[in-house]
Chains A and B, each alone.
Chain A
Amino acid sequence: MVEKYLVVDKLRLEYEGLFNVTELYKMIDGYLRTKSYDRSEPKNVERVRPEGKFIDIELFPWRKLTDYARSRIRIRIVMTDIKEVEVEKEGRKVKMNQGKVQFTFDGWLDTDYENKWESKPILYFLRGVVDKFIYKSYLDGYMDVIQQDINHLYTQIKAFLNLYRYSESPMTAPAYRAEDRF
């Protein structure tokens, strides 16, 4: 079995107001592509209701960090009461959406995702020892990468929704000491 370390647990973001659903989806998709994540979209639900559309999307992108470690992110996007509205922007009429959107982010670090260290009990034991005492600083570094990826995406979405101005430096995990890094 793959060893899973939970790095980001249910980071949430909620917004209610005007935004463009398709552009938001494209932005997230494009971000994952630029970060070299492989795409996975196990769920995509859209229901047309009189009070507005209900949309439920689950993205499960993943990226191989090394032959031993893999990063996985789960992004759940639930949108309710999505209506199409026309707004005037810089003198032009633009079609946009109005409604509620909720994001939930989870991030995992998977180690030994190819199950190479599980063929014998001695290998499994050795993997535990190596993970805990020798490879620990590397694993902490990978966790930091996953956290940065998620926080950067979180910041991008906030900027897209105009929740606050985009800042170039993404949020990171609580600072590690220099010796804990690579």
Chain B
Amino acid sequence: MAGDKDRFKAATPEGMPQIIKYDGICDIDGLYKLIQQWFVDQGFYFEEPTIKHKVPSPAGAEQDQDMRGWRNVNEYVRFNLKVYLKIRDLKEIEVIKEGKKKRLSKCRLRIYIAGDIELDWQGKFDKSPFLQQLKKFYNKYIIKEDEGIIGGVWWDQLYYRMFKLTTIIKEFLDMESKGNAYYDMW
């Protein structure tokens, strides 16, 4: 596996994680399913390394969920995407929606979405010092990390996919700031 040094993140405002904060009533189970399904639909291998759930106070339960997805673009480039859900003061409530009883959750929700590009994910260039130098040269001058195919094409693709996920989550939560004028990008 490639180390942290081989992970690319654009040195622009794009490199920042996208954060959604929502405080209100929502369908947490539906949200999990939505995010998981999105990963699968986009061809990402989906994994959940950590799930924490505890009830520290009568204010409600706390839940932290780490969702990760990766997708091999080609033999050298891999997309990594992380969605971190932080739920506080989680309480289950029953609401009547369109004449039907429905179990929903009242909570404070924080969603962090971040991604990076892993270069040489198979570690083929880590086998000797010569190959490592060759990789540095290849990244710097051939594919040009910052402005070339990595920064200009692959990062752009990953970034706008992240945005689509953000938009889908906002639409699911019925937030007022939904909509995406960049919907046709990638």
Asked whether A22 lies within 8 Å of B14 as measured between CB atoms, the reply is no
Asked whether B13 lies within 8 Å of A46 as measured between CB atoms, the reply is no
Asked whether A21 lies within 8 Å of B177 as measured between CB atoms, the reply is yes
Closest to A41 in B: B18
Contacting residues, chain B, for A49 (C-beta < 8 A): 23
Interface residues of B in 131-175 (CB under 8 A from A): 146-147, 160, 163, 166, 170, 173, 175
Q: In the bound complex, how far is the Cα of B173 from the Cα of A53, in angstroms?
A: 13
Asked whether B21 lies within 8 Å of A46 as measured between CB atoms, the reply is yes
Asked whether B179 lies within 8 Å of A26 as measured between CB atoms, the reply is yes
Contacting residues, chain A, for B25 (C-beta < 8 A): 48
Count residues of chain B with CB under 8 A from any CB of chain A: 29
Query: Does any Cβ of A come within 8 Å of B130's Cβ?
Result: no
CB distance from A89 to the nearest CB of B (A): 19
Q: In the bound complex, how far is the Cα of B22 from the Cα of A57, in angstroms?
A: 12
Interface residues of A in 20-51 (CB under 8 A from B): 21-22, 25-26, 29-30, 32-33, 38-49
Q: In the bound complex, how far is the Cα of B17 from the Cα of A57, in angstroms?
A: 14
CB distance from A136 to the nearest CB of B (A): 25
Contacting residues, chain B, for A114 (C-beta < 8 A): 146-147
Query: Does any Cβ of A come within 8 Å of B16's Cβ?
Result: yes
Contacting residues, chain A, for B16 (C-beta < 8 A): 40, 42, 60
CB distance from A143 to the nearest CB of B (A): 19
Q: A22-B177, A33-B182 are in contact. Are A44 and B20 (CB under 8 A)?
A: yes
Query: Does any Cβ of B come within 8 Å of A18's Cβ?
Result: no
Residue from B13, B22, B176, B181 in contact with A29 in the complex, judged by beta carbons closer than 8 Å:
B181
Query: Does any Cβ of A come within 8 Å of B122's Cβ?
Result: no
Q: In the bound complex, how far is the Cα of B180 from the Cα of A33, in angstroms?
A: 10
Contacting residues, chain A, for B102 (C-beta < 8 A): none
Residue from B14, B22, B163, B166 in contact with A46 in the complex, judged by beta carbons closer than 8 Å:
B22
Could you list 12 examples of A-B contacts with CB < 8 Å? A22-B178, A29-B179, A29-B181, A33-B181, A33-B182, A38-B14, A45-B21, A46-B176, A47-B22, A62-B12, A113-B11, A114-B146
Given A22-B177, A39-B163, A44-B166, 11 extra CB contacts under 8 A: A26-B181, A29-B181, A32-B181, A38-B14, A40-B14, A42-B18, A43-B21, A44-B19, A44-B175, A46-B173, A48-B23
